[in-house]
Amino acid sequence: MKQDNADFTVSFWGVRGSIPVADPDYLKYGGNTPCVEVRCGQTLLIFDAGTGIKNLGLALADETADHNPDINLLISHTHWDHIQGFPFFSPVFRKGQRINIYGGHFLSDIRTLLSGQMDLEYFPVALDDLPADIRYYDLEENPLLIGNTVIYHTHLLHPSLSVGFRVEYGRSVFVYATDNEIISDREMPDFNMENMSRLISDADLVVAEAQYNSEEYLTKVGWGHSTVESITEMCLRFRVKHLCIFHHDPYHPDAVIDRMVRNARRIAGKRMTVTGAREGLKISIQGRVRG
């Protein structure tokens, strides 16, 4: 059934990588770690549970005071910057709230991984003591069918691996692809190039990490992160319509990110829209930007 893309929106609650930051020079883009909210009609998807998920939880509490719609949380990987906000996500303390968590790791399951950071040595409330109805799903079925969306997932190139997600809703496509290292075509593993091709080809909006510029990357090869130049060129290669650069380095103040966005726009020219992810930004997949 054809969907109305006017209700396909992406909102940013945390856009910073590695660690949260708080400084006057970081106010434009924000300092919270990754959390992106996607609305596909009545279906609510949340990508990652960095510190940005705390404010999202407060907003959801106000919105859903008289009802409990399902919350679907998809975790790209469990490095701390992508899960450290989960214990402060207020819906987990709401009795009867259904929360479906999707994730996984080749060493352990998503429930075990999340429970580790909530051990009593680190946090006063254990995972099993949360009153919400939390259900855990390891990423095995591909694609996932959640509400009225079809979601494909694939591994990315990152230490201990990360997962990228492609959301198809109606005739439009959103991609979340953070924590992925893009190296030269000559050196890039075949599986990663194939995975990126399947993930981002012809997407309407790709949220992808661009933590470094090309000079910085020379001393950070193997860290699992990409340059703004490489992800821009990759998205052009696979006909992406709109790239939103994400997972900003904690050592990059606003002025540095501004330069990176300008550089990506220079490379893209008129072939692709480029935006720098910032807290409070809301994008319609149809291309309208608000916030």
Q: How far apart are CA 201 and CA 234, in angstroms?
A: 10
The pLDDT of residue 159: 85
Q: How far apart are CA 118 and CA 163, in angstroms?
A: 23
The pLDDT of residue 222: 85
The pLDDT of residue 195: 83
Q: Which domains does the chain possess? A: 5-290 (3.60.15.10)
The parts of the chain modelled with pLDDT lower than 50 are 1-4, 186, 287-288, 291
The pLDDT of residue 288: 45
The pLDDT of residue 104: 74
* Model confidence pLDDT, tens digit, residues 232-270: 999 999 999 999 999 999 999 999 999 999 999 999 999
pLDDT above 90 coverage of the chain, percent: 79
Provide the whole-model pTM: 0.93
The string over 208-242, giving b where at least 16 C-beta atoms fall within 10 Å of a residue's C-beta and e elsewhere, is bbbbbbeebbeeeeeebbbbbbbbbebbeebebbb
